[in-house]
Amino acid sequence: MKKSTFLIAGLLALAPAAAMAHPHIFVEARLEVVAGPDGSVQELRNIWRFDEVFSSSVVMDFDKNTDLKLEPNELAEVGKTVRDSLADYDYYMNMTVDGKNVSVQKPDIIHVDYKEGQLLMFFAVKPSQPMPLKSRLTFGVYDPTLYTSIDFPSDKELVLVGDGFKGCKHDVLRPDPDQVISQNKQSLTDAFFNDPTGTNMSKLFATRLEISC
């Protein structure tokens, strides 16, 4: 039960009102979208850096030998827990091809490190279906419950990798929360009351990378 608090506390054990609550976990992220030699998206590489408060709570939960640090086997256990726990949430990946949602495959491994008081995670996921570079593509990373805030500090943290993107245009979109609420007030209200445990409406607020090829 102790480990279940890690990352999925806001996903599996939320009170109804928490779906619209403020974030409790803060992540600075980097996303690299990699083009494959076959002319489609090959994988998405993620780097997550967690806030110090949450990172310290993870140390308390996983530090089996109580030496106030995480040994390699303890870091591996953190990665395994996250890999298993976030599978149902597509590891917070939100991707579309011409407006149609695309899920991701389970990553082979989630690498974890702990440096200067902060937890870091490194992992790559592959699309569950082809994403040809002849389409309108979008990529975002967000927690649908808003329990975890995933932020890209600058547009440079959303990167295209590979020659396949040379003929594509891309933009980083950072929605204005007030504008999103104003434009979607009724649908946001309806979504909350229809399913107060959580909806996918939070994607309207998420930073995303849009690509046209």
Return d(Cα 198, Cα 185) in angstroms, integer: 16
pLDDT per residue as tens digits for the range 71-119: 999 999 999 999 999 998 899 999 999 999 999 999 999 999 999 999 9
Q: How many structural domains compose the chain?
A: 1
Residue 194's domain comprises: 3-212
Segment 177-184 shows an average pLDDT of: 63
Q: What is the pLDDT of residue 147?
A: 81
Average pLDDT of the residues of the chain: 84
Q: Taking 80 as the threshold, does the pLDDT of residue 194 lie above it?
A: no
Note the pTM of the prediction, 2 decimals.
Answer: 0.83
Which residue has better confidence, 144 or 141?
141
Q: What is the pLDDT of residue 77?
A: 95
Q: Which of 52-66, 150-164, 165-179, 186-200 has the lowest mean pLDDT?
A: 186-200
